[in-house]
Amino acid sequence: MAAFRIVIENCAIATVDPVDTEYPKGHIVVAGNRIEAIGTGAAPAGLRDVVRRIDATGHLATPGLVNTHHHFYQWITRGLATDHNLFDWLVALYPTWARIDEQMVRAAARGSLAMMARGGVTTAMDHHYIYPRGSGDLSGAIIDAARETGVRFTLARGSMDRGASAGGLPPDFAVETLDAALAATEETIDLHHDDASDAMTQIAVAPCSPFSVSTDLLREGARLARSKGVRLHTHGSETVEEERFCKELFGMGPTDYFESTGWLGPDVWMAHCVHMADADIAAFARTGTGVAHCPSSNARLAAGIARVPDMLAAGIAVGLGVDGTASNESGELHTELRNALLINRLGRRGEAALTARQALRLGTHGGARVLGRAEQIGSLEVGKLADLVLWKMDTLAHASIADPVTALVLGAAAPVTLSLVNGKPVVEDNRLITVDEEEIARTTRTEAQRLMSIAGPR
């Protein structure tokens, strides 16, 4: 029996396929969880088992946005330490973060996921690395929240084993031992990772950063990931302070240190990568290592401007990341499309740094490459998974902007009329239909207040 079909017609389409095919007025046919047809004009006649037909006049259809770096738990610590650089910000907030528990993390994950999904994200990821003793099943809570929201999801199971007494930044009671971190990460993979082509949940191995984990944890984490066939993720080259830390402690910069521990390769992606010399970019290109670019967070923490145009010119896979909402209070990936373009134009390449279409590619196909899922998602092509968004472009905010892609990237946040994940609606008429937004807002506020009462004001 043929799969039930959704037919979308009369919309502009930016496919973000290998040649950036666009249709000023076209159609998309979804059959089950796959794209069955896409092209100009009306949908083919005679389609059977059509359960929904959408006249999408005034809309732009794009692949769903793909988020490649986030810290969901920070949703309940937004608006704190707003005038700090990265290291001072971490020192200020680690004592609060170290008090999180399962109930708080579940609420924060629901808030982070809801905000992203409502804004066009169809594939989310969370780099969760704080597991205080006795805090409950934090990984399970995050995965359950993603399943409830209905988005495709990668949990980067993080870890830290270098506490303050060993020269790291986090408090000792917020870190795990080497053996405990590895065992818990392996258990998370065994319980939750799905390697099917249409998987909704995948796991990555993700020790936090050079200044919060031991060399042994990096090396053993890489071995674990490759033995299990999952990807690897961490923070890298985010600040000048990190580079100084690595040179003082390891006698080399972050990229050389990561390579010495097995942390460069086509199964690895790093967050931020702001302070990259030509040799670092060449090493990433040579090894196939990907980058999660987080322009808003980098600006919020005054980390600097990542050399994204140079990375793209070298062939590096680059996606976009919200980063934690304690350093990007909006929590939306749409914001990153605009900021990636604008901030990179402040660099040495000026107006030639990025175009609107390159920004859209970063947020879709680029992110899919970074997560190792470009064969399934990230562009609108026949046979790919039906993760797509219909953006309403005929409102006051966008109707007079000549080009719909430019309107999406540089204009105000566009309303999402429909978001499909795996062929199933998650957003309708700019409202989540899988979860209750108001209830999530109330719960996150309650849990934020509870955390502050336990940890004290910052």
- Give the residue extent of every domain in the chain: 5-63+385-432, 65-370
Query: What is the model's pLDDT at position 241?
Result: 86
Of 440, 322, 252, 350, nearest to 69 by C-alpha is 322
Query: 65-370 adopts what CATH topology?
Result: TIM Barrel (3.20.20)
Give the CA angle between residues 449, 450, 455 to the nearest 5°. 100
Q: Rounded mean pLDDT of 351-374? A: 98
Confidence of residue 457 (pLDDT cuts 50, 70, 90): low
Structural domain 5-63+385-432, CATH architecture: Roll (2.30)
Instruction: Check pLDDT > 70 for residue 113.
Output: yes
In this structure, which amino acid lies at residue 147?
R
Domains 5-63+385-432 and 65-370 share a fold: no
Question: What residues are paired with 320 via a beta bridge?
Answer: 67, 293
Confidence of residue 170 (pLDDT cuts 50, 70, 90): confident
Instruction: Check pLDDT > 80 for residue 228.
Output: yes
pTM for this prediction:
0.97
Query: What is the model's pLDDT at position 2?
Result: 52
- Helix 86-97 to helix 240-250 angle (10° resolution) is 80
Task: Kindly state the helix (H) or strand (E) to which residue 424 belongs, with its residue range.
Answer: strand 424-428
Share of the chain above pLDDT 90, in %: 90
